[in-house]
Structure 1
Amino acid sequence: MSESANQKEKELNDRSMASLRGNLRHTCGATILNEWSVLTAAHCVCDDFGIPRDPSIYSIQYGSVHISETLERSVQVSKIFCHQFEMERLINDAAVLELAHPIPHDHHWEPVPLASHFDTTKQHRGIIIGWGRLWENGPIPSVLQKLEVEVYSDEVCSRFDFHQHVCFGAPIGGACNGDSGTALVVEGEQVGIASFITTTCGIASERFPNVYAKVTAFLDFIGEHSQGRN
């Protein structure tokens, strides 16, 4: 992700963000739903036909804007729930991960606020966040990055499935490899899950927007698989 977001955007709660690791290496982002569950993009953890990959290779790191390849602040993934993901059409790109143990409260974290309604008939200002590459083929940063974006209306994004996609652009910068699964936040609520880009990594515009899965399209699925354990 290129460029830092303006600090006037105070709504974003960094403590809801987590790094999804494959064999301890950052691969995607995620957001914390509760102590037992996190939300990410299906393409991060499911095959092209929506079948969950082996959960034993995945863990999350939580509780800080800084990530590492250590076991510090980490919890193993135990189950993966894919939402009828189809890679060919890039639809239903949402997955809920159940954790092997609850996230301890020895570090500061909070569940992410999910939008229950999001009107995409008009444009919005928002921010994207993540640990994605700083530029095409660039390094994975160890510190969480933020970028202010213009969330486009359905009219601008009509070539995508606006029932389950939301797209945006920015004057400079955009999502990059490693940002998948992280959040698009508008007015303090997560409205999107990083799904795909339409051109070179780090570019987002009306012609070549970044496209995220729309959270409101998956609320039932998220609720069904994030109840936690008794």
Structure 2
Amino acid sequence: MKSEVVRLFQTLPHDCGYYADRSAQNLVIDPSAPNLAAIYGLALTRGFRRAGGHVYHPHCAQCRACVPCRVPAAAFVPNRSQRRCLARNADLAVADVPAAYTAEYFHLYRRYLDARHADGGMDHPAPDDFARFLYTHWSPTRFLELRKDGRLLGVAVTDVCAEGLSAVYTFYDPAETARGLGTFAILQQLAWARRAGLAHLYLGYWIAGHPKMDYKRLYRPLQVVRGGQWVDLADDAETAVAED
């Protein structure tokens, strides 16, 4: 069988999106590679992630804080807080639909970014930013809609690969924060993976102790990459999280 050559590029240093006093770099699979769609699923198993048409992996010179993580769908057991979230949102209709641009999606996306990322560089998006960030012509992307009586409350952008689902991004109505729609979206993606017989839900990168990234360890069992291998995140004093 003929082997495939995959070219990797390293970005120039840029401001880190998680720590203001750090710079960051990524390894990016050649975005013009004709086989990018075919190798994307395998790249997920190697700790890569997709943003728009780029499949990347953090590769920072002085920092290894970003750790690839995934949840084995069949083994996942919701904790007490997650069960309450499911009950709180039992009135929502959930459906996966093809990824596409619509005025309804964009209006919700813009409201979410303006509320959650004010002055952070992602606020005030243009319509072109929507597709450029969330999906591309080759990506196996579906939108998981969350609706209440027909009204769109949230969208979980989800890539569907043979190796599992990848939670790319979720945006939701900023007026509905009490529902915990981000948590609900992940729980629905895990249920989707189980129904489809897919082994994992890939959650991107976990950063221990980070206020925006540490929540991923609440989804147990969580697997992380250590020494090039997927291993269970230890449930010890350093990583344990009490249920609320």
TM-score (norm 2): 0.27
Larger radius of gyration: 2
Higher helix share: 2
